[in-house]
Chains A and B, each alone.
Chain A
Amino acid sequence: MQFRSINFGELTYAPGDVIRFPEGLPGFPTLKEFLLLDSPEFQPFQYLQAVGDPPIAFPLINPQLVCPEYRFALSDEDARPLEAERPEDLMTFVIVTITQPVAQATANLMAPLVINSRRMVGRQIILHGSDYPVQFPLLRGQPQEQPQEQPQEQPQEQPAACEV
């Protein structure tokens, strides 16, 4: 099967490559089939690319790269639709929003994607009761080379944890 992807041009994929998101994603309830795309030139980012037309994709990153202490417990309500039997089958990503200038890019730590790579089923879960932010600065702690055009909302000194 073939379709046009956002960053990788024309793609051929097999039915076994498709990851089902039975509920879609908040804002995208009708997108239920995705491919997880990976390319050395885009490291450390990966893409959750919806299968279909028009092409829609979400940049992803491994949350440990953004926040090494990132942890959450998967509720029963979220674990069941993921058909999770073994924790080692589950992969966690967070969705990245790339901004201009890139110094203000953020990762959504409050609503991670969990994918069961054995069953090829995924879900965006919402961490109720956690203080992980929807907009966590991706480049926290890295020197900001871009001039700031608007006042920073985030304080320069961030707490050690990624929660706010």
Chain B
Amino acid sequence: MLVFTRKREERLMIGNDIEVVVLGIGRESVKLGIRAPRRIAVHRWEVYEAIRAQNLAASTSAAVPPEILKKFSK
């Protein structure tokens, strides 16, 4: 992993079009600003990870047991 030490207001460039700026530094958290093209989706890691894990679980559950179909046919 690449590690940088940055001060408030200092920036990083990722590739040619993604800019990360340190907006604030608190005791427990840092505030980051990200400027990226609209095609680049930026997510909090925890949110993305929850969805990735759920997609994985769903893909291994693809066979639908008949019981669940019965419960839906009201």
Chain A positions near chain B (C-beta within 8 angstroms): 6-7, 23, 25-28, 41-45, 47, 56-59, 65, 76-77, 80-81, 95-100, 102, 105-106, 108, 110-111, 124, 126, 128, 134-135, 138-139, 142
Partner of A142 from the list B39, B56, B64, B71 (CB cut-off 8 Å) is B71
- Contact assessment for B56 and A27 in the assembled complex, using a CB-CB cutoff below 8 Å: yes
Is B62's CB under 8 angstroms from A47's CB? yes
Chain A residues with CB below 8 A from B3, complex form: none
Q: Is chain A's binding surface mostly helix, strand, loop or mixed?
A: loop
- Chain A residues near B67 (CB, 8 Å)? 102
Rounded to whole angstroms, the CA-CA distance of A96 and B57 in the bound complex is 9
Total of A-B residue pairs, C-beta within 8 Å: 99
Interface residues in chain B, defined as those with a beta carbon under 8 Å from any beta carbon in chain A: 38-39, 41, 43, 47-48, 50-59, 61-65, 67-69, 71-73
B9–chain A nearest beta-carbon distance, Å: 26
